[in-house]
């Protein structure tokens, strides 16, 4: 008899860019395919929270924001994450799984406020919980919010969905000799500046021994493979 999946509660970090294709800042096909993977995993009894970014729409540090007050630009970035969260919510619910968007910025007509105990309760009821608006404070990123929320809800791992199937020693595009790491320590990531999550997020994970699994998001079934403990991607740990 199977012992069930490796992880029972996880936090998926979804960058805003993952919502986009060449023509749309939010691609319905992509959002539907991500939703389908989440529906599959939730259907197998795994509790899953998603921390969404906003970089496909606006980032406080982007050239678009040049000359703006940084806090205002960051507020715009946080609102961008809410737009992505609502699109993901719609796609998941169309596929029959309940969700809640919990926003770190108050906007009760659109989303519930983030309350830790409520988030956990939603997870226990099988709802996919989508964390929007990062930490609700400027000068942070949704990577850091993902780490912080994962710790608060007691997630056993952060799943970082990317465009390639893990972390490589150099950019694998056009470099056939690039080698994928199967595992790395937090210090490897920090000292070599490897692109996993930003340094604040990595430090938070390191301090709390929260593993991060970097994997290729848009390959059907991959979220389940990671949750199931199959050896894909790169795991970052102590
Ligand atoms: N942001 C913020 N505080 C947070 C999270 C996000 O100010 O706690 C702003 C910041 O401007 C950031 C933008 O929201 O650039 C979008 O988030 P992020 O860049 O992390 O999105 P991603 O790169 O994952 O798409």
What is this model's ipTM?
0.99
- Of all protein residues, the one whose alpha carbon is nearest to atom 15 of ligand 1 is 59
pLDDT tens, 70-119? 999 999 999 999 999 999 999 999 999 999 999 999 999 999 999 999 99
Q: Give residue 174's pLDDT band: very low, low, confident or very high (50, 70, 90).
A: confident
* CA 62 to ligand 1: nearest atom: 15
Q: What DSSP string runs through 116-144?
A: HHHHHHHHHTTPEEEEESTTSSTT--HHH
Which pLDDT does position 73 carry in this prediction? Answer: 98
pLDDT tens, 138-162? 999 999 999 999 999 999 999 999 9
Percentages helix, strand, coil for the chain (3-state, rounded to 5) are: 40, 20, 40
Which pLDDT does position 15 carry in this prediction? Answer: 97
Asked if pLDDT for residue 2 goes beyond 80, the answer is no
Q: Is 186 exposed, middle or buried (0-12, 13-18, 19+ CB in 10 A)?
A: buried
Q: Residues with beta carbon inside 6 Å of ligand 1? A: 15-17, 53-55, 59-61, 73-74, 77-78, 80-81, 134-135, 137-138, 140-143, 145
Which pLDDT does position 227 carry in this prediction? Answer: 98
The CATH class, in words, for 9-237 is alpha beta
Q: Which of 53, 66, 68 to mutate to test the pocket of ligand 1 (most atoms within 8 A of CB)?
A: 53
Q: How many CA atoms lie within 13 A of 41 on its CB side?
A: 35
Helix (H, G, I), strand (E, B) or coil at 30: helix
The overall average pLDDT reported for the chain is 96
């Amino acid at each position: 008899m199977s012992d069930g999946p490796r992880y029972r509660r996880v936090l998926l970090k979804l960058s805003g860019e993952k919502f986009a294709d060449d023509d749309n800042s939010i691609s319905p096909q992509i959002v539907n395919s991500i939703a389908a993977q989440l529906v599959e995993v939730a259907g197998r009894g795994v509790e899953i929270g998603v921390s969404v970014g906003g970089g496909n729409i606006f980032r406080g540090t982007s050239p678009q924001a040049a000359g703006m007050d940084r806090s205002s630009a960051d507020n715009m970035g946080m609102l961008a994450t809410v737009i992505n969260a609502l699109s993901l919510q719609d796609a998941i619910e169309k596929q029959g799984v309940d969700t809640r968007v919990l926003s770190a910025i108050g906007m009760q007509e659109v989303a519930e406020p983030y309350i830790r105990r409520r988030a956990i309760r939603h997870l226990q009821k099988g709802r996919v919980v989508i964390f929007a608006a990062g930490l609700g404070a400027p000068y942070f990123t949704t990577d850091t919010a993902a780490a912080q929320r994962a710790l608060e809800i007691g997630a056993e791992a952060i799943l970082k969905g990317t465009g390639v199937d893990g972390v490589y020693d150099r950019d694998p595009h056009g470099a056939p000799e690039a080698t994928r790491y199967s595992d790395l320590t937090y210090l490897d990531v920090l000292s070599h500046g490897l692109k996993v999550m930003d340094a604040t997020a990595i430090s938070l994970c390191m301090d709390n021994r929260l593993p991060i699994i970097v994997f290729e998001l848009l390959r059907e079934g991959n979220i389940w493979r990671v949750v199931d403990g199959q050896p894909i991607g790169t795991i970052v740990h102590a």
